[in-house]
Structure 1
Amino acid sequence: MEMTKDYAIKAGGWDPRYAVVRAVVTHGDVAAVLVDPNGDGGSIDVDQYRRGPEDTWVEVSSGGGAGDSGASWSPHMVATYGRTASRARILVDYCGETYPATADEDGWWLFATRSLDDHSMPVGRPVDE
């Protein structure tokens, strides 16, 4: 099953009249969704999923707060997100590897992958740095 914006709204229990999915990423058997619960950008949640039985996505956590950037760690995955210029390219450093991410037309970007240890957090930076 593909992780889509519509699936994320339904699976996360978000009100489709107000919630806006800002970004969706999958990396192997984990996925993360950046959700703006009321569409105004004032509060952002990161919903984390893992692939479950019969190739379905199972939510493992949801959390967030105010601000245009953040990072999270769980035993299943790490994630980081931010807001920058439209279509900006981002590089995310995590456990000695560098991964690309691209902001959408509104400037939101998201990265997620499986947790590789119990203390490292991913860090995003614009390509121009």
Structure 2
Amino acid sequence: IWLIDTPGLLPPTAAFAIDPELYFKLRVNGQMDDAPDGDSVRVADYVLWKCNRKEWFFYVDELKLDGPTDDIMEVLGKITNGDLGDKYKLAKAAWVFLELSHEHGFESMVLDDLELDDEDEKALEGRRAM
């Protein structure tokens, strides 16, 4: 089997070093194939982290948690009724959480941090003054 990496399909390897979140952003948006190595738990943890940073706590009511949490294992434990001993159940629970996040509109969330630097801020101020 030959695999040809056509420029533009995936970012160069250096891009992942510059933006460590890039892998997760691509995975969450379906731009990279699912990894068969149990990576779904790490991806679910990334989604939980992003939801918490954006103060979007849909999962609290949906999973009947006491409040927001940073612990993906707590979230997955609710999905599996506390049975986290099997890596396959854990991966399945991660997929359930990922599907749940998409059902609640995760794909509309902006994953990049869009903070303006001083130069951008000055340009915006100039436009606002017009």
Taking structure 2 as the reference length, what is the TM-score of the superposition?
A: 0.23
Report the structure, 1 or 2, having the larger helix content: 2
